[in-house]
Chains A and B, each alone.
Chain A
Amino acid sequence: MLLPNRRKLMQGSGALLAAAALPSRLRAAALPRVVVIGGGFAGATVAKYVRRWNPQIQVTLVEPNPAHVSCILSNLVMNGALTMSDITLRYDTLRTKYGVSIVADRAVAIDPVARQVRTQNGSRLPYDKLVLAPGIDFDAIPGLDSAVLPHAWQAGPQTLALKAQLAAVPAGGSFVLAIPPAPYRCPPGPYERACLVADYLKRNRRAGKVIVLDANNDVVAEPHTFHTAFQTTYAGIVEYHPATVVEAVDWSARRIHTNWGPIQADAANIIPRQRAGQLLAASGLLGSDPATRWAPVNPLSYESRLVPDVHVIGDSQGTGQPKSGHMANAQAKVCADALVRYFAGEAPDPAPVTASACYSPITARTASWLTVVFAYDPVSGTMKPVPNTLAEAPAPSSEHYEGMFGWAKNLFADSFS
């Protein structure tokens, strides 16, 4: 809880002006400090909204990259419809408009007792509340090197490497796309990518095959949309193999080993199984069972169930809500509201709602959508889908393709500017 003198200072009506007049060192000692690790959709949104909702809380965002490259729309960079600058989101506005301090460094350790974050460059950042939004980490697959075969499941250089892979598929060649077991980042994403790879091959090379190896027993998201696309739109191009797990890769022989045997390929995009960002396990946020992949948190505040004053939002949290930029933004606001209330001595909102919506391109001109709304269920203490809210678009359309850009631009702006 807060120190009494800090509480008192914050309650004064002239606190804003008084704080502005103090030297920064003194101000730092007097005002509540939130440190956010990770500048994706979750981290950027929580930093922005804490500052918007209470500018007396100091917010520091620790992120080694100079900008965030969005996974959302990145398949459209792969197929050449967009460029990297269209999906590159800078932190400038968080700093200039909202007063978020940006520390361009990598967080390497957390000391939950001293309440400090240690960075690669040796800084120690003290916090009253810590928010972890480090995204995902990947399981290793024997023989698979992401520098050779890009996963492109974190956008940036990997996106361009995948684009180059796709452009190099020989006429009539095969492209293998492997989907990990759920939960993984962006449930419809791999199927969307399979569609756009098929579309690209159809338009640029004729013939060719896209072989989808899905570790899951069926399409994880938008089953109607993607089964229709695979069987009709891309009939003769996409082959869909459920319950197929990649066990090893021998890329010098262009061979992929699965639970059903080896497959030859001309190009491949193998998306490995995922878990919470590395820092979480190292900091005790996943507990002692190595099978735990995502951080157990209280969905009213996203505070860790294991480490006090540490909150986890976005892909690393383990509430069972889908892992996506839109949901990361949704959770970040629930967390920001809980932090603002905490520093005012209040309990979190007892009935939070998180809304999910996303658009997936199916061809170069059409898109589908997927939506669901979650509400807190006080009986189970979990977020549950509200009846009648989970749905996919009945059919892809050019209208939804347009809608996709309206959605993405607003989501980018609401999170980063």
Chain B
Amino acid sequence: MKLHLKRPPRSVALALLLAAAAAHGAPPAGRLLAAQCAQCHGTDGQAVAGMEKLAGESEGEIYGELVKMKANIKPDEIMHRQAAGYTDAQIRLIARYFATVGRSATTTGAVSSRRKSDD
């Protein structure tokens, strides 16, 4: 199939391939698990008000915080109960997903903006 661009810049062609892969292959690991955080922390971790934004935090930061909460549940902390809902492997996937969407939304130009709109 022919693209409607005469000489697509490399980044655009790559973006289309990535978009196609994202749309039709296996969903990115962790995406569905991470979507359960969005009710409070915003779609893809972009909180709108009054809650911590998760997009762009590092994998180590998110993973570290969640396993710490889970290991020492304080009764007055709603997030500690939420953290207890996931295995360590699931927490790793969630952390990696937020670290990735944060990075692609802010720093990697054409590819990321394409992925952002199509993911």
Contact = CB atoms under 8 A, between A and B. Distances in A.
Interface string B69-90: 0000101101001101110001
A294 interface: no
A403 B84 CA distance: 20
A407 B47 CA distance: 10
Contacts of B39: 326, 329-330, 355, 357, 407, 410-411, 414
Interface stretch (B24-32, B57-65, B103-111): B24-32
Residue among A10, A52, A394 having the largest count of chain B Cβ atoms under 10 Å = A52
A386 to B, nearest CB: 5
20 contacts: A11-B24, A15-B1, A52-B119, A330-B39, A337-B32, A353-B85, A353-B86, A355-B36, A357-B78, A371-B81, A373-B81, A373-B85, A374-B85, A388-B84, A390-B81, A405-B49, A407-B51, A413-B48, A414-B39, A414-B42
Contacts of B37: 355
Contacts of A55: 23, 118
Given A353-B33, A391-B75, A410 B81 contact: no
B67 interface: no
Contacts of B96: none
B19 interface: yes
A374 B4 CA distance: 47
Interface string A396-417: 0000001101110111011000
Contact of B40 (A18, A49, A411): A411
Interface string A318-350: 000000001001100110010011001010010
B50 A403 contact: yes
Nearest to A12: B1
A369 interface: yes
Residue among B35, B73, B119 having the largest count of chain A Cβ atoms under 10 Å = B35
A389 B20 contact: no
A388 B1 contact: no
Interface in A207-256: none
Nearest to B16: A13
Interface of B: 1-4, 16-17, 19-20, 23-27, 31-33, 35-43, 47-51, 73, 75-76, 78, 81-82, 84-86, 90, 118-119
B20 A409 contact: no
A352 B86 CA distance: 11
Contact of A413 (B3, B26, B42): B42
Given A333-B36, A352-B32, A386 B85 contact: yes
Given A18-B1, A55-B118, A414-B43, A333 B81 contact: no
A164 interface: no
A19 to B, nearest CB: 11
Contact of B51 (A49, A340, A388, A406): A406
B102 to A, nearest CB: 16
A389 B4 CA distance: 52
A70 interface: no
A13 B82 contact: no
Contact of B86 (A10, A52, A334, A373): A373
B20 A13 contact: yes
Contacts of B38: 333, 410, 414
Contacts of A357: 39-40, 78, 82
Contacts of B20: 11-13, 15-16
A369 B75 CA distance: 11
A409 B17 CA distance: 35
Nearest to B90: A353
Given A333-B36, A353-B85, A402-B50, 9 more contacts: A13-B1, A13-B16, A15-B20, A21-B4, A346-B26, A369-B78, A403-B50, A410-B48, A414-B42
Contacts of A49: 35
Interface in A287-342: 326, 329-330, 333-334, 337, 340-341
Nearest to A48: B43
A413 to B, nearest CB: 5
Nearest to B38: A414
